Chains A and B, each alone.
Chain A
Amino acid sequence: MSDGAQKRVEEYLGRLRRRLRGMRGSEADEIVKELRAHILDKASMGGGMTLAAVDATLAALGSPEGLAAEYVTDELFARAEVSRSPLRVLRGVFHWASFSVAGFVVFLATVLGYSLGVIFALGACAKILNPHTAGLWMVKGADDYEFSLHLGFGSVAGPGRELLGWWIVPLGLLLGCGLLVLTTRFAVWCVRKYRTGRALRAGAR
């Protein structure tokens, strides 16, 4: 291999390795080793390991940043799929959002789903702590009645009545936990679909 070709390979792999910082060191080293083998095999297929052959091989692989993002996203989601932890799922989708519009949309939907889930669950817990003030209130506003989920801190704004009573505890927990589970499933499903979709391009034949 010429010095120029060697330098090009090392630059590419160096950029890739730097972008794999979020992963365990041994895993990142193994990825770089596997990609090095691919580049050497593919570039030498045409006969000689020329600079042009190396450039063509690297172009077919795509940018090292994009490739590293694939690995890091996969790693984050593999962890999320195993743990089913909302925090891990959120971390993975946040990472996806950093390089894709679709990821950004899924991230917003995930944040919304988790936020609503937490609010419902908090409403249920608050009723136990503040039974007289916490709950779903129908409060008289300036012109009309409006609904207000009150967690029990401070007094309710204006005259009104509480609608659900103790039913808010099971309902809030059910809705809150249900939303957390559904949002997690939705986010994991979106990422699986995205990852499979990116893998293919139109057939050559």
Chain B
Amino acid sequence: MKPIDRELQDKWEAQLRKGCLELAILATMWKERRYGLEILRQLESDSDLVITEGTIYPLLSRLKSLGLMNSEWVESEGGHPRKYYSLTSEGRKRTREMAESWKRFSSGMGRLLRPLGDAEKGVAR
């Protein structure tokens, strides 16, 4: 791929990720409360979302100020307290709504892109 094509592709992918960042962060807390570093690790391991470390905390603070998350301090085995975040009922509602929108969008795109997969199979044959 030419450098200019690579740059355009990177920009497009970055836009794609930006669009689902909020949903991804909220989703990490769906099952249980989590602290900042845990959220970063899960985003890295389960998705392509890699967030610069210094920006996750202001983001969490913003989602909390929007009423989507609560926080509490819990003593850790390491001897220092950690700030755990959990979804509020409003946060759970918003996460569910966003996830449904995401599924609808993703399934629509899947249908739209199906001919591309068929064409690739044809080329392979």
Interface positions of A (Cβ within 8 A of B): 30-31, 33-38, 40-42, 44, 60-62, 66-67, 70-71, 74, 78, 195-205
A184–B14 Cα distance when bound, in Å, is: 27
> Which residue of chain B is the closest to A35 with respect to CB atoms?
B57
Could you give 25 example pairs across A and B, Cβ below 8 Å? A31-B61, A34-B36, A35-B57, A37-B80, A37-B82, A37-B83, A38-B37, A41-B78, A41-B82, A42-B37, A60-B52, A67-B57, A70-B54, A70-B55, A74-B58, A195-B59, A195-B62, A196-B21, A197-B18, A198-B55, A200-B14, A200-B18, A200-B21, A200-B52, A203-B17
**Contact in complex: B57, A38 (CB < 8 Å):** yes
> Which residue of chain B is the closest to A57 with respect to CB atoms?
B53
Nearest CB of B to A42, in Å: 6
B97 interfacial contact with A, CB 8 Å: no
**Contact in complex: B44, A204 (CB < 8 Å):** yes
B100 interfacial contact with A, CB 8 Å: no
Contacts of B80 in A (CB 8 A): 36-37, 40
A37–B74 Cα distance when bound, in Å, is: 11
Nearest CB of B to A105, in Å: 20
Q: How many residues of B contact A (CB 8 A)?
A: 33
A74 in complex: contacting residue of B14, B50, B61, CB < 8 Å: B61
Contacts of A71 in B (CB 8 A): 57-58, 61
**Contact in complex: A199, B81 (CB < 8 Å):** no
A67–B36 Cα distance when bound, in Å, is: 15
A36–B49 Cα distance when bound, in Å, is: 24
B:26-53 near A, CB below 8 Å? 35-37, 44, 48-53
B90 interfacial contact with A, CB 8 Å: no
A156–B97 Cα distance when bound, in Å, is: 59
Nearest CB of B to A24, in Å: 13
Interface positions of B (Cβ within 8 A of A): 10, 13-14, 17-18, 21-22, 35-37, 44, 48-59, 61-62, 65, 73, 76, 78, 80-83
**Contact in complex: A67, B48 (CB < 8 Å):** no
A41 in complex: contacting residue of B37, B48, B61, CB < 8 Å: B37
A198–B37 Cα distance when bound, in Å, is: 18
Given the interface contacts A34-B36, A62-B54, does A200 sit within 8 Å of B83 by beta carbon? Answer: no
7 tightest A-B CB contacts, nearest first: A203-B48, A62-B54, A70-B58, A61-B54, A199-B55, A60-B53, A34-B83
Contacts of A201 in B (CB 8 A): 14, 50-52
A201–B82 Cα distance when bound, in Å, is: 26
> Which residue of chain A is the closest to B11 with respect to CB atoms?
A202
A20–B65 Cα distance when bound, in Å, is: 17
Nearest CB of B to A205, in Å: 6
Contacts of B82 in A (CB 8 A): 37, 41
**Contact in complex: A31, B57 (CB < 8 Å):** yes
Nearest CB of A to B24, in Å: 10
Given the interface contacts A41-B82, A199-B59, A200-B21, does A60 sit within 8 Å of B54 by beta carbon? Answer: yes
A30–B82 Cα distance when bound, in Å, is: 11
**Contact in complex: A205, B78 (CB < 8 Å):** no
